[in-house]
Every structure is written in C-alpha cells, then in structure tokens.
C-alpha cells in the first residue's frame, strides 16, 4: 500500500517532507526533539508533551512494538510524532501491537521518512518553535502561515488539559493492601500537573498511601487531608501560565514537606519569588549528565523540559542549588535551607538505565518521617 505524503512546517519558514505513518490529519504544536534511543511509548504518553510535536533523533523507531504496561498516562498526549524510519517488524516478547497500530488507535498524526538529523540541527540552531504537521494540506506557504498563527506554549495553561478531573487514591492494579498495613503508610498528596504513572508507583512502593488531586486544588483542602508530604508533579507548558498553582504552593510552604519534579521545581521556584526562563531547545532525552553538588556524583538522567528556574532571581528565600546539568550548567535541583522542601528538574522515576536517582524518593520519605516526629514530639 502506497503511503500518503506528509509535511512539517516551522514558523520560520523551514519545511520538511515525509510519509504518513499514523492517521490522516493536521496538528499544531511546538516542534521539539528527544535524543532517547528507546522509550518511545513512555514519551508518547507523557503528559508533559502536551502541546508539542516530538521528533525522535534515533533513526529507527518501533522495533519492539507497544504494550499496555509501558505507559505514563491513560492515553497519548503528544500532538504529533516525527521519525526517520518506522520499523517494519515488531520483535519483543512483551509486544502487544505495532507502533503504527497504536498511532491509528489513538488518532496520532505521525510522519516518517523525515531528515530528522537536519530538523534537529535546525532546532538546535534556531531554537524550538511553533510548527504544523499535516497529511491533508501540502501547501508549504499555507502551513507556514498556520504555524506562525498557532498559539504556541508560552503563557498557556496546558496543565488544565491533562490534570485529573477529580481526586483519587492511587492503587496498584492487582494488589490489595491490608487495612492494618495501609494505616502505617505515609500519607502523600500528589498535585497532578500532568503526573507520570511511575512517580505514583514508586511512592506506593516506598510505603506511601498516594492521594492524587487536581492541579487547581486549594492548599487548605490539601492540608485538610492531613498529608505527611506533598509531591508537586511534572507537567506541560509554561510555569508562568499557572499563577493559581504558584499561589497554593506558597500557602503549603513550611507547613508540610514538599518534593517537586520537573514542572514542580519550576513552580516551587516561582513560589519562592523567583523567575523562570525558556531554554533555547530544552532538555529532552534519557542521557542527560546531572551533577550532584554535595557529592560530586554524576547521574545519567532522563529529562523533558523547555523551561528552567533562574536561581539568581530568588532573593527573599534561602534557597541553594543541589544539582546542575553538565551540558549547559542550568540548575537541575534546588533546596530550601529553612523549610522541608526540595526539587529536581530531571525525572528520577524514569530510569533510563541507572536507578541512582531513586534515592530522591527515599530522601522525601525520610524528610516526611523527620517532620512527623518533630510535629508530634
């Protein structure tokens, strides 16, 4: 069967051609690239990619298929998907379907046969930008105009599109925790800005009872749930488009231990009175070198973010850096010196191979236990 032509247009006028390997249609979003060699299903279902069209730099995608386990949310969240070559075979004992079938099941516009190296180099040079991916409009001028007029992500609240509609207690499928065991668990409230499932799984596995609440939940409501700690999750878009979240985090500061991941760090930075800024092309991949300043240890971590905290802009709160990215020295972790609150910009739950960063979850657990002892001493 002959594949249908497809086109990708950037707001600066650059156009790339390829062949459709998903559904027919047209999508707009910020064009970004991810350097991971695997994990495409986790990327496709990561809520942090809402509003973005993802380009995979690794040339062959789809060779191990897809399954119902390797997902980070209930459904795909990317606006579109771009790759060099779609594998014609699926070879893995866990595979339940081919990636192309997955695209068609969930209505994803995807394009293969694209010079992804040229596209990635262009983004590295010019920066991530607005774009359109289409199989129905193949007029370059028309698509470039659509890209220019698309809303982009700066200033937008994309979290409202991915957060849960109402709160729920996270439970591991097939597991039943005895009431007496459940009562011994630490009570953690997760602010769902677009939380990944593996964050919830790890919190559960280290002995937490995990309550997930919508992003707009008020601090008073959270505190009424008597949490031992609050996790500020990852999520999509511009943190400065979420003033309601920043306001509630300020009300939580000092009253309960806080742990922020990715967008959660950026929102904490804003709650501290600081500012965030947009990175030129962001950090997206499973091979980011992160240095822990207290030990000098370097971790290979997974990341997905286009904004970062400007540490120098935090003037009123005693906040110190804990981690930096060795590629560009951006701040990858911050901690409050007075209150029990810390955060990281990367994804300790993503496990791109090394599991070194799992220790951040046990650090959060100890912080909650220590705070609980001091509170009820």
Tokens 């739950």, residue located: 349
- For 1, other C-beta atoms within 10 Å of its C-beta total 3
3-state secondary structure of 329: coil
Active site residue 347: yes
- Radius of gyration in angstroms for the set of CA atoms belonging to the chain, rounded to a whole number: 21
CA distance 113 to 121: 16
**Helix locations, 11-159, DSSP H:** 40-45, 99-106, 116-126, 140-149
Closest CA to 32 of 13, 55, 9, 50: 55
Q: Which residues pair with 189 in a beta bridge?
A: 211, 230
Out of 112, 248, 262, 292, which one is annotated catalytic? 262
Q: Which residues contact 352 (CB under 8 A, 6 or more apart)?
A: 36, 39, 286, 287, 300, 301, 302
Active site residue 349: yes
CB burial of 189-211 (b: ≥16 within 10 Å; e: otherwise) equals bbbbbbbbbbbbebbbeeebbbb
Determine the angle formed by the axes of helices 243-252 and 263-271, rounding to 10 degrees.
Answer: 70
CA distance 26 to 313: 40
Take residue 90 and report the two structure tokens written for it. 């699926």
Sheet of 258-261: strand order equals 168-169, 208-214, 186-192, 229-232, 258-261, 341-344, 331-336, 319-325, 275-292, 298-310
Take residue 28 and report the two structure tokens written for it. 């707009």
Please say whether the dihedral angle defined by the alpha carbons of residues 121, 122, 125 and 127, taken in this order, is positive or negative.
Answer: negative
User: For 270-370, where are the E strands, in sequence order?
Assistant: 275-292, 298-310, 319-325, 331-336, 341-344
The residues carrying an active-site annotation are: 262, 347, 349
């Amino acid at each position: 069967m002959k594949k249908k032509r497809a086109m990708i247009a950037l707001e600066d006028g650059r156009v790339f051609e390829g062949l459709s390997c998903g559904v027919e249609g047209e999508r707009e979003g910020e064009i970004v690239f991810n350097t991971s060699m695997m994990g495409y299903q986790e990327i496709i279902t990561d809520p942090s990619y809402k509003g973005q069209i993802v380009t995979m730099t690794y040339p062959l995608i789809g060779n191990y298929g897809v399954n119902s386990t390797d997902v980070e949310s209930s459904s795909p969240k990317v606006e579109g998907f771009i790759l060099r070559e779609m594998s014609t075979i699926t070879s893995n004992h866990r595979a339940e379907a081919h990636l192309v079938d997955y695209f068609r099941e969930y209505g994803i516009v995807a394009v293969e046969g694209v010079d992804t190296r040229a596209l990635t180099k262009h983004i590295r040079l010019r920066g991530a930008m607005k774009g359109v991916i289409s199989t129905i409009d193949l007029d370059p001028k028309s698509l470039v105009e659509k890209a220019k007029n698309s809303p982009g992500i700066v200033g937008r609240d994309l979290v409202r599109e991915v957060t849960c509609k109402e709160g729920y207690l996270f439970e591991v499928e097939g597991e039943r925790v005895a009431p007496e065991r459940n009562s011994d668990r630490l009570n953690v409230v997760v602010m769902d800005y677009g939380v990944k499932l593996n964050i919830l799984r790890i919190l559960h596995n280290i002995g937490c009872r995990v309550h997930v609440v919508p992003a707009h939940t008020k601090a008073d409501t959270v505190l009424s749930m008597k949490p031992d700690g609050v996790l500020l999750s990852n999520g999509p878009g511009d943190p400065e488009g979420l003033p309601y979240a920043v306001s509630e985090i300020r009300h939580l500061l000092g009253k309960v231990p806080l742990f922020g991941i990715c967008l959660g760090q950026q929102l904490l930075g804003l709650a501290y009175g600081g500012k965030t800024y947009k990175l030129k092309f962001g950090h997206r991949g499973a091979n980011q070198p992160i240095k822990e300043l207290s030990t000098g240890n370097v971790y290979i971590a997974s990341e997905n973010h286009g904004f970062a905290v400007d540490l120098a802009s935090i003037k009123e709160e005693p906040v110190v850096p804990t981690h930096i990215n060795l590629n560009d020295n951006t701040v990858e972790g911050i901690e409050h010196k007075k209150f029990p609150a810390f955060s990281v910009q990367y994804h300790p739950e993503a496990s791109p191979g090394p599991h070194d960063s799992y220790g951040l979850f046990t650090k959060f657990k100890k912080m909650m236990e220590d705070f609980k002892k001091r509170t009820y001493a």
